[in-house]
Structures are given as C-alpha cells and as structure tokens.
C-alpha cells in the first residue's frame, strides 16, 4: 500500500486518494449488466435459465434445504455448530431489540396523528457465492426480516462449484425458517427477483450485497418503472482504519487484510497521525498477504489501498467522513472521543479490540452495509429495512371545526380548489 501525506496533497490528489477502484463503475460492466437485466425482465424464465447456464454453469434450481441442512449438522463439528448458533442468537437479540415503537402525537386538541409499522409482504434476499458459502450473509438478512415480521422470503444465491447448494448455506436457511433456496446468481438473479421468472416470484424489495455486477443490477432494476426497492448500494467490501501511534500494528494489518481478502475490488485504507505506524503496517502487509489462502485477491485489493498520514486524529476522522466507508475501525486509545465526530460510516468498530470480523459474524448487527460512499445517506440492513411506516390521523368534530377553514385557506393559496372544498365540506357537516 502506498503511503501518502494528506497535507501534501492538493484537492485533486485527495480525491484520487479516496477514489474507489475504477472497475466498480466500468462502462462495459454497466452495459453487460443492463443487457442481462433487460433480457430477464422481458423474457422471464427462459432468459433466466439461459443466463444461468452461461454464467453460473447451470440453470436455476429450487432447492429444498431440509436434507442438506441435516447433512451439515452431521458433518460440522460441535464447535462450528455452536458458533453458528451463537451468531443466530445474537443477531435475533439485537434486531428484536431494535423494533421501532408505534407512537401517537396530539398535534392540537382533538387531532391525533399516529405512526404505525407494517412488515413488507415479500422480500428477496441475495446471498453472494464464490469460493465459499457466505452463510453468515443469509443470517444477517433473513433474521432481521423475520424479526420485522416478513412472512415470505425468497432467497437467491449462485450455485456452488460443481452445482447445487452448499449444505452450510442450507443449514443457515433452515435456521431462519426458509424452506427452499433458488440457485441463481449475478444480475440474472436480481432481475428474476425484481420481475419474477417462472416459479421465482417478484418481490417488493431486494436486499443483500454482491460484487460489482450485483450492485449495478440492483441499482439499475430499482431505477426502472415497476422495479423493486433495494436496501442500499452494497457492492465490494471496504474498510477504513483510523489508528493512533499506540495502535498495535499487527492488529491494524490483520483488520485490513480481513477485508482485502474478500475481492480484488475490495478497498482498504489506513488513516493515521503516526508516520512510524504507517511505515510499520506498510512493511508488514505484503508478507502477511502472501500467507493467505486467498493471497491473489488480497494482493489485488491492497494495490487499490492507501495509507494516509495526517497531522491529527481529528483530521483522520474528517478523511473518514469524506470517504464514508462501509466499515470504520477506530484503533485509538480513546475511541469514544472520536465516535461523536463520525457522521458517515456503515458500521463503526470502536477500539482496537473491536475486530471488524466480530461484526461480520456474531456481534448482532447486520454486516450488510452501504458501500461506495453511500453511507453518506444510507444505513445498513436492520429491522427497519423490512418495515414501512404509515401515519394514521384521527379528528374529532370539534377539531374539524377548528382546522377546516385554515386547511381550505392553505389549499386555495396553492390553487387547489377541490382540496379547499373537501375541507369546507367537513365544516358544513360539523355545523349542520
């Protein structure tokens, strides 16, 4: 990773230092994704099956998970099963404890406005595939949806190498009360969930992370007439670490590599007020990366990384807010002092012991978080992702008498006479 001194960079240099990898917004990638989405949108199952054969190696399959889940229970160790159950329990506890309360405000005597929450009817969950089954992502999506009260959950994931569904992912589905999973990946999966394809039903909202193709497909599908809502832009992983001179360089390097191994398009950044720490971490990373099973991915991601040396920790937090990372680690002596200044981040890990890995698996909050700077305006997946709010207004006759004339005045001020007469009609009814 290249070391840059923040105060020596001009505005263009700073923008370049915080730029995401170019492949995330590649024009050819966007054109390819849109062609696939349009094909499935227009031709349905036939297109989904053809694209699945071409890109996944097999046509989509509806896999019943029960038998595969039992296979996973037989083959996984007791420690592995206990770890999965710990993650499940913590995720449930956090999201059930996060359910919003309904509330009512009497804005004036006799005029009551309530906010109530309702779960979405049907949601689609996309679980990335690849070399390993990301069963944790299914837990991080399905359990908040269940806590919110969603009754119909449609899951899509790429088939594993050699075809079919990985038993560990089937186990995760079973633990979430999901009876079957569709083995279809990429942009074709997003399009199938968005508009339906054969027995794959159309959903109201699509949630889940993915590579650049999946992220682009979600954004494109949501932009089309009749397209679904999406949780957020959730593409390749990213981590920004803010570290002071007292941070353990071994832990800082470990956290950076934990995200770098995700994908060649992943991005990791270290911002520090300590030049010695910057140099130590930079020297450690190449050797540590070479030892990883996914060394080639980690090394490609490190090539897109940066180490930024700033004059103060406050400046490091300013850099973090400008970048708006998916994950923000505060490897500093007094993390809570900085937490109050953080405005833009998907998730914050406060203190050197708060490994981002804990958040990925079992802290309780969802690891499905906004990427590519979307944390400036978007939040990560939570029970709120799977809920919608409605307001309910109740008016007594006395309140109607008080507000009818002001409401009619406001309507006529905007030139909406029918609105005004609807208000006047209530006044007539009350005084009749």
- Residue 171 CB neighbours (<10 A): 25
Residue 262 catalytic? no
C-beta of residue 88 within 8 angstroms of C-beta of residue 143: yes
Distance of CA 60 to the CA centre of its chain: 24
Calpha distance 207→384 (Å, rounded): 12
Calpha distance 351→257 (Å, rounded): 18
* Direct distance between the N- and C-terminal alpha carbons of the chain, in angstroms, rounded to an integer: 79
In 3D space, the residue among 127, 122, 125, 211 whose CA is nearest the CA of residue 169 turns out to be 127
Contacts of 141 (CB under 8 A, 6+ apart): 125, 127, 207, 208, 366, 368, 381
Helix, coil or strand: residue 154: strand
Q: How many helices (H) and strands (E) does the chain have?
A: 17, 15
Of 216, 238, 262, 327, catalytic: 327
Calpha distance 130→122 (Å, rounded): 26
User: What does residue 161 show for φ and ψ, rounded to 5 degrees?
Assistant: -60, 130
Cα dihedral 86, 87, 91, 97, rounded to 10, equals 20
Helix, coil or strand: residue 391: strand
Residue 326 catalytic? yes
Distance of CA 395 to the CA centre of its chain: 40
Beta-ladder partners of 239: 268, 327
Of 216, 238, 261, 326, catalytic: 326
Contacts of 71 (CB under 8 A, 6+ apart): 167, 170
The CA distances from residue 334 to 253, 317, 322, in Å, are 20, 13, 21
In 3D space, the residue among 243, 321, 313 whose CA is nearest the CA of residue 284 turns out to be 243
% helix, strand, coil for the chain, step of 5: 50, 20, 30
Catalytic positions, written as ranges = 326-327
């Amino acid at each position: 990773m290249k070391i840059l001194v923040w105060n020596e960079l001009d505005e263009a240099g700073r923008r370049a230092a915080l730029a995401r990898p170019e492949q995330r917004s590649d024009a050819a990638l966007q054109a390819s994704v849109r062609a696939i989405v349009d094909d499935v949108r227009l031709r349905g199952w036939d297109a989904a099956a053809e694209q699945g054969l071409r890109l996944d190696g097999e046509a989509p399959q509806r896999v019943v998970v029960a038998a595969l889940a039992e296979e996973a229970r037989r083959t996984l160790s007791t420690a592995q099963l206990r770890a999965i159950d710990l993650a499940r329990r913590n995720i449930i506890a956090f999201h059930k404890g996060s359910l919003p309360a309904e509330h009512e405000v009497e804005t004036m005597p006799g005029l009551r406005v309530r906010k109530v929450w309702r779960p979405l009817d049907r949601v689609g969950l996309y679980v990335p595939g690849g070399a390993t089954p990301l069963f944790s992502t299914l837990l991080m999506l399905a359990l908040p949806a269940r806590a919110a009260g969603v009754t119909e959950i449609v899951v899509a994931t790429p088939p594993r190498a050699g075809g079919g569904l990985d038993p560990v992912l089937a186990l995760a589905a079973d633990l979430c009360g999901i009876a079957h999973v569709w083995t279809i990946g990429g942009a074709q999966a997003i399009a199938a969930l968005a508009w339906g394809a054969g027995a794959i039903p159309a959903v109201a909202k699509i949630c889940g992370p993915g590579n650049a193709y999946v992220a682009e497909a979600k954004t494109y599908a949501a932009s089309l007439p009749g397209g679904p809502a999406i949780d957020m832009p959730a593409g390749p992983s990213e981590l920004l670490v803010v570290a002071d001179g007292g941070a353990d360089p071994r832990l800082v390097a470990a956290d950076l590599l934990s995200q770098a191994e995700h994908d060649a398009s992943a991005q990791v950044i270290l911002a520090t007020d300590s030049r010695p720490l910057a140099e130590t971490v930079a020297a450690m990373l190449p050797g540590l990366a070479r030892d990883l099973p996914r060394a080639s991915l980690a090394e490609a991601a490190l090539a897109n990384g940066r180490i930024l040396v700033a004059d103060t920790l406050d400046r490091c937090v300013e850099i973090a807010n400008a970048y708006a990372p998916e994950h923000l680690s505060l490897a500093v002596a007094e993390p809570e002092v900085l937490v109050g200044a953080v405005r833009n981040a998907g998730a914050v890990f406060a203190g050197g012991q708060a490994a981002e890995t804990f958040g990925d698996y079992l802290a309780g909050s969802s690891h499905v978080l906004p990427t590519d700077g979307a944390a400036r305006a978007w939040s990560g997946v939570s029970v709120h992702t799977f809920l919608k709010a409605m307001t309910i207004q109740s008016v007594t006759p006395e309140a109607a008498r008080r507000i009818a004339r002001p409401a009619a005045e406001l309507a006529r001020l905007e030139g909406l006479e029918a609105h005004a007469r609807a208000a006047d009609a209530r006044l007539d009814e009350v005084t009749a």
